[in-house]
Amino acid sequence: MTNRNIFSLPYSEVTPKRDYLSRRALLAAAGFSFAGLRAAAATKLTGYRKSPFSTSEKQTPYNAITSYNNYYEFGLDKDMPARNARNFKTSPWTIRIDGEVAKEKAIDFDALVKMAPLEERVYRLRCVEGWSMVVPWIGFPLSALIKAAEPTSKAKYVRFETYFNLKQMPEARYAGMPFPYVEALRMDEAMHPLTILSVGLYGETLPNQNGAPVRLVVPWKYGFKSAKSIVRIRFTEKQPASTWMIANGREYGFYANVNPEVDHPRWSQAKERRIGEFGKRDTLKFNGYGDQVASLYSGLDLRKNY
């Protein structure tokens, strides 16, 4: 691959054109396999319960969810993460908890999944590039981890840092972005019952290309806000700078709430295309979760705070 980065690519290459997107997604939905589709042998998850927070919309097929991904550490093209993350090592795995907490600690993955009962949450996922999915995530509310972390009264934000190692992620050198990847939420966003840490989808552990072994899912925000392969959670008093804010703050703000009324500087956000469908549909404000989360932003100008 030539030495290109995400900001030097024409938009048609960063986000594939309509025919490419629809044709590939429909093939995946029909069960056709692409090279390296499964990153590793999946493990069945048991004992989880169905969540009343789930949408009843038709779920996007597993093959589509796992073959069309944004994970720039494993490549810029949508099909590259499934191929390049196949040998990504996710065990053992530890998450460091630090910053404004009563006591800094490290939590291993086995202890993490026992922190709260696992639930299946069928959530919409909306990408800033204009495509969307309906994914049956398996995880638990982030609030359970936050309560266990015992944040101090100074903790106003929660910062998430993802795993980064060029030996395992050599394609990251072409992304033109600072790594490790960092995202953050306000404390009230992080504590909201819709915000989860996911450890699986479709009844199995997370595939590597989808953020194994643990990722954030914030369903009313654009997908880039949901950090993958988390290794550090830090509680801060001041608003952290996220990776996309550092790389291109004019286009990617801190909040990243799905808002069809605020266009991306290079394209409209008013419509979206569901993976596996040819036509476009209207984008829903807060990705359809407005009844649950709009009160978080009462009095906040969402055009300035995008």
Q: What is the DSSP string of 135-156?
A: EEEEEEEHHHHHHHH-B-TT--
Would you put residue 114 in left (φ > 0), alpha (ψ -120 to 50) or beta?
alpha
In angstroms, rounded to a whole number, what is the distance separating the alpha carbons of residues 124 and 59? 9
CA 296 to each of CA 7, 177, 187: distance values in angstroms, whole numbers, following the listed order: 32, 30, 11
- Using CA atoms, how far residue 95 sits from 92, 106, 300, in Å, is 10, 6, 33
Q: Which of 146, 195, 162 is nearest to 90 (CA)?
A: 162
Sequence-distant (6+) residues with CB within 8 A of 237 are 100, 154, 155, 156, 157
280, with CB counted inside 10 A (0-12, 13-18, 19+), is middle
Cis peptide before 213 (omega within 30 of 0): yes
**Mean local confidence (pLDDT), 132-139:** 98
- Residue 13's pLDDT is 43
Does residue 31 have a pLDDT over 50?
no
Say yes or no to pLDDT of 17 above 70.
Answer: no
44 to 51, 148, 205: CA distances (angstroms): 18, 27, 6
Q: Of the candidates 304, 305, 61, 294, which has an alpha carbon nearest to the alpha carbon of residue 194?
A: 294
Mean pLDDT of the region 228-253: 97
Could you read off the pLDDT of 197-232 as tens digits, one per residue?
A: 999 999 999 999 999 999 999 999 999 999 999 999
Instruction: Tell whether pTM > 0.75.
Output: yes
Ordered domains of the chain (ranges, CATH): 11-297 (3.90.420.10)
The confidence band for 12, taking pLDDT boundaries of 50, 70 and 90, is very low
Residue-wise pLDDT for 32-69, tens only, equals 333 333 445 689 999 999 999 999 999 999 999 999 99
Taking a C-beta distance cutoff of 8 angstroms, is the pair 164, 73 a contact? yes
Percent of the chain with pLDDT over 70: 87
Q: What is the mean pLDDT of the chain?
A: 90
